[in-house]
Amino acid sequence: MTEKDFFPAFLEKYPASGEATWMAPSNIALVKYWGKKPEQIPTNASLSFTLHACSTTTTVLYEPLAEETGDFSFNLLVDGKPNKDFRPKIQTFFTRIERYLPFLKKYHLRIETSNTFPHSSGIASSASGMAALALCVMEMEKELYPEMNESYFVKKASFLARLGSGSACRSIEGEVMEWGSHPSVEGSSDLYGIPYPYKVHNIFKHYQDTILLVHKGRKHVSSTAGHNLMRNHPFALRRFEQANDNLQRLKGILETGDLQGFVQIVENEALSLHAMMLTSDPYFILMKPNTLGIIERIRAFRKKSGTQLCFTLDAGANVHVLYPENEKEIVFQFIQDELVAFCEKGQYICDQIGVGAKKG
């Protein structure tokens, strides 16, 4: 599909008052995207596990305005309280998607949202948040077009979510998601995420993700700023090639259940992401000393125990510990014994691979 497929037909009627609720999960990228072109287009393809417990639930209550103001009319409640910090991001999102949903300025929207995990701390809260919001506004369009099929609904929701946060397009569906045009992935697109179209071995079907909350505060550098620094990065082109090569290599690994190959690529991708941050101009460091302490112990435990746990990182200090379900008992005991001490106030989240967004 192309961008023009997401423009609506001429509208003669508009939705009445209503309400939409969606829960959208976060996701954890295995192959990272870092750097983007205009219109939220990725500079390389990426691959992610959809999560289950880490999610955002958003409700949008909408009613027609008695008189249009020429701007978007909305209230935003985060965890039941007004929040000014997130308003600019929502305003930017609505500005980007207005041409695809031209009725938005005719309504007042009351947006109520809550997360099951901390905002702005290296778990993809913008991904789940924008995915949930995109699904809610798509419910408004679906009221106009009841005949809209599920495939179109999902693709357009992913397309819209991308315009709010690039990785949000991977939070609409599950279990393994791909985003970005890639010659070896059939149906891949820069415009929206797709369920990974190839065989995935059963060992990955119930993969575990224990998220160690090393630092729950706000990041001092936003992901948007980090992406922008890739534009003049001296190693950018080679990094984009590396990511696309790793995605190609994962095809056989995911099909055969090659856990050693999986560990090697996933950890390489995590460290490559942070290497690009360390070598940007200006450079920035999102890892904390405890992040490195956890990584060192994971590597030592894997060598000693013969298990196939591994780590990955998003753009933050927190560590995602990934491991197959059949190693859950031994790995979780290791986490309790050696890694929890590195977490802020001993806090962590137990999660696993999930199936995607759900309507409330």
Contact by Cβ (8 Å): 180, 167: no
Q: How far is CA 100 from CA 104, 106, 145, 156, 265, in A?
A: 10, 14, 14, 9, 37
Q: Compute the distance between CA of residue 216 and CA of residue 300 in angstroms, rounded to an integer.
A: 26
State the pTM of this model. Answer: 0.95
Q: What is the pLDDT of residues 108-125, one digit of tens each?
A: 999 999 999 866 444 657
b/e per residue 328-338 (b: at least 16 CB within 10 A): eeebbebbeee
* pLDDT of res. 10: 66
Residue 196 tokens, joined = 């990974």
Q: Compute the distance between CA of residue 339 and CA of residue 325 in angstroms, rounded to an integer.
A: 19
Backbone angles phi, psi at 101, to 5 degrees: -135, 75
Q: Compute the distance between CA of residue 80 and CA of residue 62 in angstroms, rounded to an integer.
A: 17
Task: Report DSSP state, residue 92.
Answer: H
* pLDDT of res. 13: 74
Neighbours of 322 (CB within 10 A): 26
For the chain, what's the residue count? 360
Residue 67 tokens, joined = 């008189």
Q: Compute the distance between CA of residue 28 and CA of residue 353 in angstroms, rounded to an integer.
A: 9
Q: How far is CA 292 from CA 67, 235, 238, 303, in A?
A: 56, 23, 25, 17
Contact by Cβ (8 Å): 103, 62: no
One digit per residue, pLDDT tens: the chain, 360 residues? 999 999 987 667 777 899 999 999 999 999 999 999 999 999 999 999 999 999 999 999 999 999 988 999 999 999 999 988 889 999 999 999 999 999 999 999 999 999 998 664 446 578 999 999 999 999 999 988 888 999 999 999 999 999 999 999 999 999 999 999 999 999 999 999 999 999 999 999 999 999 999 987 777 788 889 999 999 999 999 999 999 999 999 999 999 999 999 999 999 999 999 999 999 999 999 999 999 999 999 999 999 999 999 999 999 999 999 999 999 999 999 999 999 999 999 999 999 999 999 999
Backbone angles phi, psi at 112, to 5 degrees: -115, 125
Closest CA to 345 of 207, 252, 245, 213: 213
Packing angle of the helix pair 236-256, 259-278 (nearest 10 deg)? 160
* pLDDT of res. 83: 87
Q: What is the pLDDT of residues 190-244, one digit of tens each?
A: 999 999 999 999 999 999 999 999 987 777 788 889 999 999 999 999 999 999 9
Q: Are strands 18-31 and 319-323 parallel, antiparallel or unpaired?
A: unpaired
* pLDDT of res. 34: 97
* pLDDT of res. 142: 92
**Helix (H/G/I), strand (E/B), else coil: 101:** coil
Q: Which long-range contacts (CB under 8 A, 24 or more apart) does 293-300 make?
A: 293/342, 294/212, 294/214, 294/319, 294/321, 294/339, 294/342, 295/319, 297/338, 297/339, 298/339
282: cis peptide before it, omega within 30°?
Answer: yes
Q: Compute the distance between CA of residue 49 and CA of residue 178 in angstroms, rounded to an integer.
A: 9
